[in-house]
A and B are shown apart, each in its own frame.
Chain A
Amino acid sequence: MTNSMSNVKMVSEIIENSYKVLKKEVISQYQVSFEVNKDDVHSILTLLKTSGWIQLSYLSAIDWPEENEFELVYIVFNWDKAVHIQIRTRLNRENPVMNSILPIFPGCKYYERETHEFFGIKFPGNPGHEKQLILEEWDDIPPLRKDFDPRAYSDRKFVKREYSNDFVNLNGEKSKQIAREERKEKIIKVRKGGRK
């Protein structure tokens, strides 16, 4: 495995020669990532599969709401050359659709289904991917999107316990803790110019 760095180089050459790579990162001697155009993903993955990266290790997405994009990640692995390759691409967040890679990696079936469930990305070409897998009777936006707040959801649906034991001892005086908290809140406002 001493030539693992040259494996990374080899992969880079394979991909960079034929496709436009938006961003390349060599993460470690066993891992390299490429950010590519959405349209190239399928042919890159096909190319990689024919070059020995036959195992789809992981498929998922990242939500970047500020850029209004989803980032799809495909991670493939070659057991003989020992390099994990991340292929990443960006999708529009408004209408996220990505053709399924089912014909290339049949193992993606459930990954894509889960990604649809948690991010709402559609994968045409993967039959039944729109069915729920992990969640049951989900009634909110896909939970791994950044704008979903699990705490608010939890507060709404599951009641927190209110203990009746009281350990507070004010000794007949006015609470200092509350005063401190109030002061803290005010000063945090000041920082953002909130008083103006």
Chain B
Amino acid sequence: MKKRYSMFTPWRHFKYLFKKPLTIPFKDIFTKKNADYLNKNSIIKSKKRVEESSPREAADNLRGFHTNDWEECIGCGTCMDICPTEAITMAERLDVEDVSGALQQRPIIDYGRCCFCALCVDTCTTGSLKMSKEYIYTHENPDNFLLMPEKLWQGHVVKEGWVKDENSDLLDLERVHMEHEDPEERKSSFVEIVRGYSKEYAKQEAARCVECGVCTASCPVQMHIPAYIKAIWEDDIEGGLRQIYETNPLPGVCGRVCTHNCETSCSIAVRGEAIAIRWLKRYIIDSAPDDIYKKSIMEPISEVIDAKVAIVGSGPAGLGAAYYLRVMGYKVDVYEEKPLTGGVMRYGIPAYRLPDSAIDKDIDFIESIGVKMITNTRVGRDISMDQLEKDYDAVFLGTGFFKPRDLPIPGADHKDVIGAMDFLPKVRDYERGVLKLEDIDVAKSIVVIGGGDVAFDVARSATRLQMLKYGKTNVKLTSLEDQDVLPCSEDELIEGAEEGIEFFCGNGPQEILLKKGKVTGLRLWKCLCIFDEEGRFNPEFDKECEQVIEGQQVYIAIGQSPDYEYLPKSLSEKLTFERGKIKASNLGQVEGLPWLYVGGDILRGPDLISGVADGHRSAQGIDDYLFNKAKKKEISKTLKEMRLAAKEQTPGLTYRQLGKK
């Protein structure tokens, strides 16, 4: 049946007169201020209108105005980078506490640009930037649309609108997988464990970086980490290499064994896994062909400023100083006691972490720019300090901590109680083929005392030697610290456990048990606390909680101490020692002896990369001291620029060295 329509059909709609209106009441539209205006100015006045008025509460994931929790925000500026409208800029806030892993800046948002896309929220590294449910903001002055998001919106607590969840997250929080040698296989050889990234993987890992640069400040040498990671991503090895050498002359070594403070402070690590900065650096060095070095990095340093510098010790600090002094145009001689240069790199770190090839690549380059290495020459024995003072215009000491620290417990003077720094060089020599397996005395069961990286080096090297010698392992590790606060790096702990090391952490060694002149074990007491109230090292033990672990050898890796025997008495009298370290200025200059500079472990410590930084700083100090004294000062433009660059890149002190968080 066909329905009849007439022009009066629409009149049916009068039925809506009697239905609940769809129109939204004023109280759900207007803010209090505007409701107040309406109340005062309309004919119908009702107090209720003002009291109840608040705009409709928006949906749960509304993209309203931003809020930013300053407690969480690290000022990484990723929001600024992603903003499609360039609405976000970072305002510098030096009133915010300066801590590692954060920059003193906070985003400000131009609501004359913002398009409310929430990409900034989805890409925020910490999740501090959020969007609220507030969506009303009007003003007659266009100047008032630049706002700094804080935890409160316009001074009020507001409800959260759009926040990121796992679906909307635009960051890649997972590290690209790195191939490691299998624990069972690696136990029986000194093959390097970490295989390194392939090109494809390196690019993927590099793509995770957000270029915030938070890491730069926490790196002791302040490497340009975002820059070289970007170079990897863009497949520009040569460019990356140049950028690395601006601040670090030992990248191949650092790419393997650096303590990577950068990764600790990485902004991605706030919620996910840090970028594998160390491995990416290693990727650049590993994949850079030798001719790139010659072609693109090696600047022609033909001229020499008429001043000579002697470097004592070819460790990280010495080489760092040597490289930058050479780049600045000085003639540099490095004195090394041992047959091979590299110091702790060459003799203190086992090859499964740092193979010789990597050290060679770095040191060969330093040598190739004209640094002279004088090996097998111990200062104080083969050449005296006085001679150096006479022959050279400045002397840099970077002799490091190479003597094992003693453990004052009964039985510690036994021959089967071995110091780490006596053992590790032997291991390295074995790897190089200088020593044979038989020459190294490794027992079937071993106890290692110490919880640092060196202790693990000892334990894991011993594991390998045992495996080679006896086909099975028995290594126990004990330390004062509990297992979750061990000072070693996390990887060491995990890999050590994989290789079968047994842990007895949180115990203090009390006595080395001897039976018939042979070591049989170690008596441990539970450690209650390591430092006393004043923060000094003064461990307390619980005598009740005693255990004995068996072992035929005990290795002590509780730290190293310096060896100052090479210093003549006339000189050492003028030096001030503080806990084994020499007191010097920020740039390493010793007070009263302007020609003498120190760096590395004997100045600051505590790690390899800090040594390089010390070397770099001392290079600047030496230059400041010598350049004005030098006779020949007319240098070419290239050298001038290089000098300037080397000085500009001089790193400042790290947060830890400055005593900050």
Contacts and interface: CB of A to CB of B under 8 A. Distances in A.
B227 A169 contact: no
B227 A184 contact: yes
Contacts of A190: 239, 242-243, 246, 645
B304 interface: no
Nearest to B226: A184
Interface string A172-191: 01011100100110111011
B440 interface: no
A164 B143 CA distance: 7
Interface in B125-151: 142-146, 148
B72 interface: no
B92 A165 contact: no
Contacts of B350: none
Interface in B623-646: 638, 641-642, 645
Nearest to B645: A195
A75 to B, nearest CB: 28
A168 B110 contact: no
B110 A176 contact: no
Contact of B227 (A171, A188, A196): A188
Interface string B74-102: 00000000000000001111110000000
Given A169-B93, A177-B92, A193-B242, A184 B108 contact: no
A168 to B, nearest CB: 5
A100 B558 CA distance: 85
Contacts of A177: 90, 92, 105
Interface string A133-172: 0000000000000000000000000000101110111110
Contact of A165 (B143, B213, B216, B236): B143
Contact of B213 (A164, A173, A180, A196): A180
Nearest to B223: A187
Nearest to B92: A177
A188 B106 CA distance: 24
Interface residues of B, number: 37
Nearest to B75: A177
Main secondary structure of the interface of A (DSSP, over half): loop
Interface residues of A, number: 25
B648 interface: yes
A192 interface: yes
Contacts, number: 71
B580 interface: no
B227 A173 contact: no
A177 B242 CA distance: 24
A163 B146 contact: yes
B296 A169 contact: no
Given A180-B213, A184-B227, A187-B243, A195 B642 contact: yes
A163 B242 contact: no
A161 B227 contact: no
B242 A191 contact: yes
Nearest to B146: A163
Given A169-B94, A191-B240, A195-B641, A161 B112 contact: yes
B224 interface: yes
A177 to B, nearest CB: 4
Contacts of A180: 103, 213, 216
Given A167-B148, A192-B239, A193-B296, A187 B92 contact: no
A176 B104 contact: yes
Given A192-B239, A193-B296, A195-B645, A169 B95 contact: yes
B231 interface: yes
Nearest to B112: A161
B86 to A, nearest CB: 10
Considering residues B92, B227, B236, B645, which has the most beta carbons from chain A within 10 angstroms of its beta carbon? Answer: B92
Given A186-B648, A191-B227, A191-B240, A170 B94 contact: yes
B39 to A, nearest CB: 32
8 closest A-B pairs (Cβ-Cβ)? Answer: A191-B239, A171-B94, A167-B91, A163-B146, A177-B92, A187-B224, A167-B148, A171-B95
14 contacts: A165-B146, A167-B93, A167-B108, A169-B95, A176-B92, A180-B103, A184-B213, A184-B224, A190-B242, A190-B645, A191-B227, A191-B236, A193-B242, A196-B299
Interface of B: 90-95, 103-106, 108, 110, 112, 142-146, 148, 213, 216, 224, 227, 231, 236, 239-240, 242-243, 246, 296, 299, 638, 641-642, 645, 648
